Amino acid sequence: MNLGRSYKIAVREARGLLWSTGGGLIVGTFWAATGLIFTLNLFQFERGIRLAAQQASKLQSGPAGVHINDWVVSQTFDLTGGVLFIFFIPLLTMRAFAEERRTGNLELLMSQPLAGSELLIGKLAGSVLALVSCLSIFLVYGVVLGIVSTPDWTATLVGALGLVLLGILFTSIGTLLSVLTRSPIEAAVLTLGLLLLIVTGPAMMSNGPEWVRGMAEFLSVEGRFRDFSHGVFDLSHVAFFLGSSLLLWAASLRGLDIVRWQG
């Protein structure tokens, strides 16, 4: 396997996603949405400080219970990963393979001395690279946090790691469904539906028998991500996200082999 080929594919894929007209619109919308979430959470934080100060003055004690990580950082991460990613990532991954299959370019690529694993790694890495580039706006939010308050930077970095791991998992899902379809729109709709099911499914299973609740807790992507967003680092969560992404990559590779066999 030649990773140099995968690297070239990844760079080309990321550029296509970020610099195309449609890609620019998607990125701009994502930045606007995260900016709105961050700003609203900042206003809530400021309001919480004022209320805490008023209560403290009545009790003649110092304000307590208001921390910027709880009011702004965790909330911004939760809404970005648990809501925005569900709608944003399907748009990011829908063209990865479905567009290539629709136009016939995939057959041309597969006829070249290029291994399926090289192509898949390049496409997936390109989508992840584009996603991380979109998340770079959070560096600006970090600067703002440092100006207005004193956040727990360790917890903030743990939350950022969780956001990236969640993004890799969701991108792997979108890539798999793009491999299995010929229409980018179909791939996007299927990815959206599956991500909604993954996020909401464990909550619906929580009312079942004890063994069902245990399974729901183990499979809860949202619960594991929420630990990260609240500053809790757990190696088992890291292993879950990376292991699941690897399994999806293997499934995508198998799907690509089937597509090649079918011609």
d(CA 156, CA 146): 11
Q: Pull the structure tokens for residue 254.
A: 């198998």
Find the helix packing angle between 184-205 and 85-93, rounded to 10°: 150
Domain count, the chain: 1
> No. of H helices and E strands in the chain?
14, 0
Each residue of 143-189: pLDDT tens digit?
Answer: 999 998 889 999 999 999 999 999 999 999 999 999 999 899 999 99
Question: pTM to 2 decimals?
Answer: 0.90
User: Which residue in this structure is represented by tokens 């791939």?
Assistant: 187
Q: Which domain holds residue 71?
A: 3-262
Whole-number Å distance between alpha carbons of 103 and 97: 10
Output the pLDDT for position 261: 73
pLDDT at 45: 87
pLDDT per residue over 34-47, tens digit each?
Answer: 999 999 999 988 88
* Tens digits of residue pLDDT in 53-75: 666 555 444 445 568 898 899 99
Q: At what angle do helices 85-93 and 21-59 cross, to 10 degrees?
A: 160
User: Which residue, chain included where needed, has tokens 């198998």?
Assistant: 254
